[in-house]
Amino acid sequence: MNPDALGTALRAGAAWTAAAVIGHFVIFHFARVEHRARTVTLLFTLAALAALWTGLLLDVDRWRAVYGVVVVGCSFLLYMPFYYTVAASQSVQLVIEVRAAPHGLSREQIRRRYPVQETLAGRLETLAWAGYIVGVDGRFALTFKGRLVCLPFRAVKKLWRLGAGG
Amino acid sequence: MKGLLLAAASSLLCVAAVTVVFRIVDVRRRAAAMLRIFLATIPLYVAAYALTPADLWLLPERLVEPRAFLCGVFGLFVHAALFFGGWLQVYNLAERGFSLRILIDIDESPGRALSPEEEEAGYGGGLGMGWMLDKRIEGLLSTRLMVERDGSLLATHKGVRVARLFGGLRAFLQIDTPQ
């Protein structure tokens, strides 16, 4: 049995996490990825399996080999919000556009760049494509998957007394 | 295993404290309040780790970690990941999530179905879609990423740095449209 089982498992987890992040950057830089979030999730899943395999290969006992998977899992928890900030944050998009404009942008110019109908139509299309809502006679209703996501967050908003949000 | 168990306990303590504070006090900057509560749980975790036995009175011998310091650091990493990647993201989504707000609006509507026009007018519990953009702009002003001068919004030095960093990352990762 490996005398430094914990250290080996944690190092394996960290190394495979780094591999997943590098893989993400390389793949996204050289290929047009359609399912971006799914691809990142797949990369981290592979990293978790690889961390487990590495641990077992290096004579780490089963319990501690799982710690490597925990490292990858926690890194995934931290990495996804960062990735979504880069990829989808409207605030980040706004800062980039304001910085790119030589004399800045007025609120009116920003509103013209983000027409609410188009923004909403795009997001409804994405939600329908992802299976959270379904269109019937020009109206959108939640699917089972949509309700499954919606209900816990409604409970959190009520529990923490959050405002309307959005 | 001790580090993991104490991390889980600290995380639950953190979210319980957040819940109590949010229910009792009217907090204006909630994310900052959550961060302060999380930071307060770190010395508690360290104290609990230092003062309890390696087996936590219940763990079998095979789960007792001989490298106590490393196990403690590992637990702290897990606690931080559960907060920054877990609870804080739950809050961010509940408070700022665009898609989630649409789902909630549909769920809260009388017929549990909305047309795009109804959603546009009723977004955010009746505030309308225009409010969403204003909220983002106010957020960028309050975090000093932008300033408003003579009716124009301009990026501050901090905003320029953020735009460069995220713009560079988006270009490198070939992300041109938000998903």
B179, pLDDT greater than 50: no
Taking CB atoms and an 8 Å cutoff, what residues of chain A touch B167? Answer: 96, 99
Range of the domain at B125: 97-142
Q: Are residues B118 and B150 in the same domain?
A: no
User: Tokens representing B71?
Assistant: 């196990």
For residue A131, which phi and psi values (nearest 5 degrees)? 85, 20
Choosing from B58, B75, B96, the residue where a domain stops is B96
Q: Residue B178: what pLDDT?
A: 47
For residue range B21-41, what is the model confidence (pLDDT) as tens digits? Answer: 999 988 888 889 999 999 999
Considering chain B, what is the average pLDDT of its residues? 89
Q: Do B153 and A106 make contact, defined as CB atoms within 8 angstroms?
A: yes
Q: Are residues B131 and B108 in the same domain?
A: yes
A22, pLDDT greater than 90: yes
Q: Are residues B83 and B167 in the same domain?
A: no
A7 touches chain B (CB under 8 A): yes
How many domains would you assign to chain B?
Answer: 3
Q: Residue B146: what pLDDT?
A: 92
The least confident of A148-152, B16-20, B21-25, B150-154 is B150-154
What is the torsional sign of CA A116, A122, A127, A128?
A: positive
How far is the first Cα of chain B from the last one, in angstroms, to the nearest whole number?
A: 38
Beta strands in A103-157 (DSSP E): 105-106, 133-136, 139-142
Q: Are residues B163 and B125 in the same domain?
A: no
Q: Residue A26: what pLDDT?
A: 94
Residue B81's pLDDT band (boundaries 50, 70, 90)? very high
For residue range A98-112, what is the model confidence (pLDDT) as tens digits? Answer: 898 888 888 888 888
Instruction: Give A107-116's long-range contacts (Cβ < 8 A, gap of 24+).
Output: A107/B134, A107/B137, A107/B151, A107/B153, A110/B133, A110/B137, A110/B153, A111/B130, A111/B133, A114/A90, A114/B133, A116/B120, A116/B129, A116/B130, A116/B132, A116/B133
Q: Do A71 and B19 make contact, defined as CB atoms within 8 angstroms?
A: no
Does residue B54 contact residue B2 with C-beta atoms inside 8 Å? Answer: yes
Residue A103 DSSP SS3? coil
Name the residue facing B74 among A10, A104, A123 (closest C-beta).
A10
For residue range B84-103, what is the model confidence (pLDDT) as tens digits? Answer: 999 999 998 888 888 888 89
Q: Residue A90: what pLDDT?
A: 83
Q: Are residues B22 and B54 in the same domain?
A: yes
A96 touches chain B (CB under 8 A): yes
Q: Are residues B44 and B124 in the same domain?
A: no
Residue B160's pLDDT band (boundaries 50, 70, 90)? very high
Q: Are residues B9 and B61 in the same domain?
A: yes
B61, pLDDT greater than 70: yes
